Amino acid sequence: KPFLKTRFMGRTGEYHNLIGSTNDRAKELAVMGVPEGFLVSANGQTTGRGRLGRSWASPVGQGLYFSIILYPNLPPVELPKLTLLAGLALGQAVENLGVEAKIKWPNDLLIKGKKVAGILTEMSAEAERTIFAVVGVGINIEPLNERESFSYPATFLKEHVAIVSRLKLLASFLGYFEEQYELFKKGEFARILKEYEKRLAFRGEEVKIISGSHEYSGRLSGLADDGALIIQDGFTTRRFAAGEISLRRK
Ligand code: ATP
């Protein structure tokens, strides 16, 4: 709390040593109507998740795992933008530690090309109305167990900075995230996107997009106004919405 300078983000919350998944707990609490910005944080998760039901390794003490409950008054199609807002805030919080970070669109943070954090946004919607959204974040801090191997190379903050205060890192993320969320609500998404794009990984490089059983290759040229990824393959331009696709450097 002494580090926290937000108006509502993380002002209320609960803390767990070990939990199933902070996103699952946050969804239960959202249904109960806890205040906006409510934070569920944990030292470890037994069933931490990434996208597409993939698992997120979350052993106790190895990282920071938390979820934030929001009630954005937005149509569900706009919600992937929240992932971009959180990605930017996460990048800013890590840069605040003096480390350069890049965002692997849409939801992962990289340091020196390795994954240090991930974001999972989930929501509940009825017809065209969003009831709540849960933005979950997992940050690797220090490797305690034997190193697991993932689909993508992983790294830990302590491999890049000597001292990491979990509390300060969380407070700094919450500060940036609140700032981005307020801007977003004021219709300033274009400004957010510009900041996000500055940190976009693989920009101008040859990449591969894996979408189910399909694969597309091309040069990553940037982002569209709505945050979609633009890939240029010869004379063909393809756009990918922040759905269930995986991005790889070629
Ligand atoms: P990918 O990382 O393969 O491009 P993605 O962005 O969809 O795909 P996420 O859903 O964000 O990945 O994260 C889940 C994946 O991240 C898992 O399949 C696993 O390979 C990897 N992973 C799991 N736990 C960690 C962790 N603690 N640190 C880094 N990577 C992890």
143 in contact with ligand 1, CB cutoff 6 A:
no
Nearest to 114 by CA among 58, 154, 56: 154
pLDDT band at residue 149, thresholds of 50, 70 and 90?
confident
Q: Ligand 1 mean position to 107 CA, how many Å?
A: 10
Percent of the chain with pLDDT over 90: 86
Q: Ligand 1 mean position to 54 CA, how many Å?
A: 7
Average confidence (pLDDT) over 87-98: 98
Nearest atom in ligand 1 to 62's CA = 27
pLDDT at 1: 64
Q: Ligand 1 mean position to 216 CA, how many Å?
A: 20
87 in contact with ligand 1, CB cutoff 6 A:
no
Using the predicted structure, report yes or no on whether residue 145 has a pLDDT greater than 80. no
Ligand 1 pocket: which of 56, 84, 135, 247 to mutate (most atoms <8 Å of CB)?
A: 56
C-alpha 237/C-alpha 234 separation (Å) is 8
Ligand 1 pocket: which of 23, 54, 116, 250 to mutate (most atoms <8 Å of CB)?
A: 54
User: pLDDT tens digit string along 16-25?
Assistant: 999 999 999 9
- 171-191 burial, b if ≥16 CB within 10 A, otherwise e? bbbbbbbbbbbebbeeeebee
Average confidence (pLDDT) over 192-220: 96
Average confidence (pLDDT) over 122-148: 91
42 in contact with ligand 1, CB cutoff 6 A:
no
Indicate which residue's Cα is closest to atom 28 of ligand 1.
154
Q: Ligand 1 mean position to 137 CA, how many Å?
A: 12
96: left (phi over 0), alpha (psi -120 to 50) or beta: alpha
User: pLDDT tens digit string along 47-80?
Assistant: 999 998 899 999 999 999 999 999 998 899 999 9
Nearest to 141 by CA among 108, 174, 163, 114: 163
Q: Would you mind telling me the total number of residues written for the chain in this entry?
A: 250
Average confidence score pLDDT of the chain:
95
User: pLDDT tens digit string along 172-185?
Assistant: 999 999 999 999 99
Nearest atom in ligand 1 to 104's CA = 6
Q: Ligand 1 mean position to 241 CA, how many Å?
A: 19
pLDDT at 188: 98
Average confidence (pLDDT) over 22-49: 98
152 in contact with ligand 1, CB cutoff 6 A:
yes
Using the predicted structure, report yes or no on whether residue 146 has a pLDDT greater than 80. no
Indicate which residue's Cα is closest to atom 19 of ligand 1.
150
Using the predicted structure, report yes or no on whether residue 100 has a pLDDT greater than 80. yes
Of the ranges 57-61, 110-114, 144-148, 235-239, which one carries the lowest mean pLDDT score? 144-148
Helix residue ranges per DSSP H, the chain: 22-31, 80-95, 166-185, 189-198
57 in contact with ligand 1, CB cutoff 6 A:
yes
Strands 129-140 and 63-70: antiparallel
User: pLDDT tens digit string along 161-174?
Assistant: 999 999 999 999 99
Indicate which residue's Cα is closest to atom 30 of ligand 1.
154
